[in-house]
Structure formats: structure tokens, C-alpha cells
Amino acid sequence: MGIGVIVALAGAVLAFFLGRASPVPTGIAVVVGGEQVTIDELDRRIEVVEAVYGIERPSDGPGQDRFGRDIAASLAVATLLEQAADERGIEPGEEVVERTLADVVAQRYPEDGRDGFTRALADRGVSEAEVRREVQRQLTNQILFLELTAGVEVTDADARAAYGDLTGAERMLPEVRELRHLVVATEDEASSARRELEDGRAFGEVVVERSLDGSTREDEGRLGALTREDLDERFAEVAFETAEGELFGPVRTDLGWHVGRVEEVRPAAEATFEDLGPTLADRIALERSLARWRAWLEERFEMTDIRYADAYRPEAPDRIPGADQRPPGTDLAPDGRATDQP
């Protein structure tokens, strides 16, 4: 091979690896496979993300710089995923988009609902159409993940092998307690409610009459079977030191003053394979799905020309945001329906 050919090949390889650092046109933040994302589009995307997810950009200069670079990297991957989804003809159905948007509104604005959502968008200068588009992007990523990881199998032997690898401590099921409670605004009210219970009044009656917790009031204060870790630390400390059948409280949490009763105690015990098998199988399936997803992302990333403007280039341009995480809400069928729908 002549020296001229060797030099030419070396130049081509160097150009490939330096391509992600080559200049981009003025006004462009990042180029992904020939698709240009302008600085204005990136700034607008930040405003939409802030409105949808409540993310606030840092106020200090260095923090803002890192934030902008991180957003540019995430947007590069998002654009890459959109391109792949377009190639596959993936488009979430309108029903699932609307349902997901309603969930976002409920989570972000639990008190004011749609009105609060609309006011917040107006305050930020963001339209509902832009928010809907952001939701649609996330759903598209979820469907793409499900398509790419379809067919991942976990056998009973896989789960049993994982169970065999657990240490003694890892096989222990924590203590579980069946609890009931009521919550009121003041310590005096809680003490009064406890006296009524000690005098023999039915727990459910006192809950229906007094409790501020609407989520458990209709079920007469039943919280269900819970571990210590499931509970507020202050509540758990008292509830897990109380004997079965006994009352506890008043105890204060951020919700108010609680009075409770321990209905049943199920002591910690060693878990059998039947106890842990389904959980272990789910964990293995997730690990294998993420491995397949990561491999696909890395291959796609290497195949795609991604270049950043100097002001938006990440510290590690070859790191792929989200490669080790599945898109949230991946409980959808490949056509964009919720998997529990007929």
C-alpha cells in the first residue's frame, strides 16, 4: 500500500472521529444526521420542558452553561430517536396522547387541574399544542423502546438461578403490617379521636366523621399491607413499635396529626422462590431489555453524524443520555395503546 493511500485513509478516519467537533452553521445548536436544530428551537424546547415537568434552569452562569449543554445532548438523542421512529412509521394514537396529557396535568396541577395548567402555560408563553407535541415525543420513544426490546425472554431456569445467587439477607421479606389511620389538623383533635376509639367507638365511624384523608376515608382508614419503608419515617417509627390490635398516636407528619391501629403483623421471613420468582424474572427482563436498547442506541449513535456548536458541545459528546434507562411509562402496546386496553 502506497504512502499516499495510507495518508488518505488516516485522514478519513481522523475526519470521522473529529466530525462531532466540526463547525456548524451560525444559529444552529446541533446537527443530527443532517437535521439542524436551531438555537431558538433548543431554547423553546427548554421552555416547554420547564412547563411540562417543572424543571427549572439554574440561575448561576456556570450552571446555566452546563444546563444548556446537557439539554443540547438530550435533544440530539431525542432527534435521533425521532428519526428512527419516523423510519419505522411509529406514531402514538390520539387517545393515548390525550390520556397521558391528562395524567401530566393531574400530577403537576392536582388542585387547579386543567385551569391551573392553562394559566401556567399562559404565564410561560407556551401553547398547549407545544406541550402535546412534547408528550407525543415521549410516547414515541416508549413505543420505539418496546419494539426494539420485543421478544426478550426469561425462563424459569433463569429466575431460579438468580434466586440461587441471592444472599441470605437478600432472601428476607421485611415485616409487613396491616394498618388503619385517620388524620386531623391538630394534636387536640387527634387526642380527642383517640379517646373515642379507646371508649369503644368503631374505627371506621371516627374516620368517616373526622379524617381529612379523602384517599382512605371511604375505606374506613385502611392503609393496607405496608413495610416500614413504605411509610413516613415519623409514622413508621410509632406504627412499627405498636403491638398488634393496639392504637398508636397522635403522631405528626406533613399531612397532619394521625391516630392509627395495627390490624395485623406479619413478621419478617425468608422468601421462597415462589415469593421472589416473578420479581426476579421482571428484573432479568428489564436488564436484558436495557442491554438491547443500549446496544441499539450506541450503534445508531455511531452511525449518525452529530455535531454541536461550541457553546452547546457537551463535556463528553460521545456519552449517550438515557442509554441506561428505559423511557418512562413503557406499559404501552407497540401501537400506542395501553396494554390493559382490549
pTM, rounded to two decimals: 0.67
Q: Are residues 139 and 338 in contact, defined by beta-carbon separation less than 8 angstroms?
A: no
Helix (H, G, I), strand (E, B) or coil at 67: helix
Domains of the chain: 5-151+287-312 (1.10.4030.10), 175-267 (3.10.50.40)
Give me the DSSP letters along 137-205: HHHHHHHHHHHHTTT----HHHHHHHHHT--TGGGEEPPEEEEEEEEESSHHHHHHHHHHHHTT--HHH
Residue holding cell 488518505?
8
Question: What is the model's pLDDT at position 3?
Answer: 43
- pLDDT value for 214: 86
**81: closest CA among 141, 1, 2?**
141
- Rounded distance between C-alpha atoms, residue 17 and residue 12, angstroms: 9
Rounded Cα–Cα distance for residues 321 and 314 (Å):
11
**Peptide bond preceding 278 in cis form (omega within 30 of 0):** no
pLDDT in tens, the chain (342 residues): 444 433 333 443 433 444 445 578 999 999 999 999 999 999 888 888 777 777 777 888 888 889 889 889 988 999 999 999 999 999 998 999 999 888 888 887 877 888 888 888 888 888 888 888 888 988 999 999 999 999 999 999 999 999 999 998 889 999 999 999 999 999 999 999 999 999 999 999 999 999 999 889 989 999 999 999 999 999 999 999 999 999 999 999 998 999 999 999 999 999 999 999 999 999 999 999 999 999 999 999 999 999 999 999 998 887 888 777 767 555 433 333 333 332
Which pLDDT score is estimated for 225? 93
